[in-house]
Chains A and B, each alone.
Chain A
Amino acid sequence: MQKHYWNEYQKEIAADRYFYARSCIRQTFFPGSETAFLKILQDELGKDIYDSADQHTCSGIGYHGDVVPFLTTSTVIARLFSLMTEAGYKNYVPSCITSFGLIVEVLDTWKHFPETLEQTRESLLKATGRTFEIPENVAHPSDIIYKFRNELKSKMKYQLIEKSTGRPLRGVEHIGCHYAKVFPDKGVGGAEFPHVLAGMIESWGGEVVDYPERRHCCGFGFRNYLVQANRGYSVSNSHKKFESMAPYKPDFIIANCPGCAMFLDKWQYTIAEMEGKTYDEQGRGIPVFTYEELAGLLLGYDPWKLGVQIHQVQAESFLDKIGIEYNPDEKYKGASGEELEHPQKPSVLKV
């Protein structure tokens, strides 16, 4: 009998009353994703989610870039927990996958080395006068969308189906390394069979592409990218993935990590400029979305309000396949309706 190993890795995901912690970089590269997540939870699902104005970095970029020591990071995270405690919440939801991985790492360290927890409490109290409670539940927003994926499906205006043929769209799901590769039991499906994004694609009518390099890192890695000389390593990893997935002709890619979604999108431009190669038949590249953007598009939100025009690989080919309505004239209009400057066109990648 076929055994589904990912079934052994199931995590508890809180059902309501979340404290939301934003990402440092997501609002730059995916400007509508976090707002879409809050809108989905509040308006579509009727959940209580708190977006604190006092929040700050978790220091993950500095920690993984080897410039911030662990105890400093754990104290910074403790301050975030103190904001949650102050607001009266117990379920912590970090938008960034690195924050999620780092929080899981800090909590695990506090569990196995209680003296580090006491040290952190003391440091936080001395520095800020604050105290905190450890969260009862830590879930990534992709876990929450996964938990409510079927409920969302009933509200969706579109499905992942090609309008003209009825064919399920083929989706590549890419899971951030910090989601479950560090602590497999903290992710839905563990490190080898993470179902968190695949479950969304399947539930929303699409087909998941299973390609050889499916679990390969996108190549981001803070130390790989922050030093320019190392970026060849970074882009080579994404290149390896694109070469591996291209024969399966994916219609789109979704990712739950800020770095993965950014690099799988932007490296397509870089590779096109370096090698003259694009990874779809029309030379437009494979559109990359965050899971919130995908959910928002299928729920019928305006693609331009979701910010998909900010992506390097443009989304129109994907929108047209499903038949998602959009106004091309509104693409580069600002919030008050003024026409914004249009981006320069790449020389290889078609837009």
Chain B
Amino acid sequence: MINFGYTLNKSGAINLVEADLSLYNDLMKKVPSFARCIGCGGCAATCAARQHTDFSVLKCNMLIRRGEYDTLSKELNKCMLCGKCSLVCPRNVNTRAMIIQARLLVNSFSKR
């Protein structure tokens, strides 16, 4: 193989057919209201932790739905569990419970 001094970039495409969605499926069973999320971002806009960090509930939501778990644990741990996101959610998603359950699942997921 020839070294040209550059390589192919990793594709940013998200392949949902091949993605591991086991954590997402488990989370849906534990927090059924998660299914109602429309991704409006109200949770992220009101987030107290977001005032001081780059934490975003919406980002965690997307990582879970895409099966991208590599950075999920670090993201979830930025949450202060204040619950303001649950109060503003127009779809009554129990976002606080979602974060707690996702933390538990991602820990058990990494031990598998």
Contacts and interface: CB of A to CB of B under 8 A. Distances in A.
B1 A232 contact: no
B71 interface: no
A231 B8 CA distance: 9
A274 interface: yes
A232 B2 contact: no
A274 B5 contact: no
A144 B48 CA distance: 62
Contact of B2 (A231, A235, A240, A274): A274
Question: Is chain B's binding surface mostly helix, strand, loop or mixed?
Answer: loop
Q: Which of B4, B5, B8, B13 has the most CB atoms of chain A within a 10 A radius of its CB?
A: B8
A197 B4 CA distance: 33
A66 interface: no
Say which size band chain A's interface belongs to: 10 to 19
A53 interface: no
B6 A231 contact: yes
A274 B1 contact: yes
Nearest to A236: B9
B9 A274 contact: no
A232 B11 contact: no
A235 B8 contact: yes
Nearest to A232: B6
A127 interface: no
Interface residues of B, number: 10
B7 interface: yes
Contacts of A67: none
Contacts of A231: 4-6
Contacts of B1: 273-274, 276
Interface string B1-31: 1101111110101000000000000000000
A228 interface: yes
Given A273-B1, A274-B1, A276-B1, A228 B6 contact: yes
Interface string A235-247: 1100110000000
Contacts of A85: none
Contacts of B6: 228-232, 235
Interface string A146-166: 000000000000000000000
A275 B4 contact: no
Contacts of B11: 236, 240
Contact of A228 (B5, B8, B13): B5
A233 interface: yes
A270 B5 CA distance: 11
A290 B13 CA distance: 30
Contacts of B2: 273-274, 347
A13 interface: no
Contact of B4 (A230, A236, A270): A270
Contacts of A275: 8
Interface string B46-90: 000000000000000000000000000000000000000000000
Closest 7 CB pairs of A and B: A232-B6, A236-B9, A231-B6, A273-B2, A236-B8, A232-B7, A232-B9
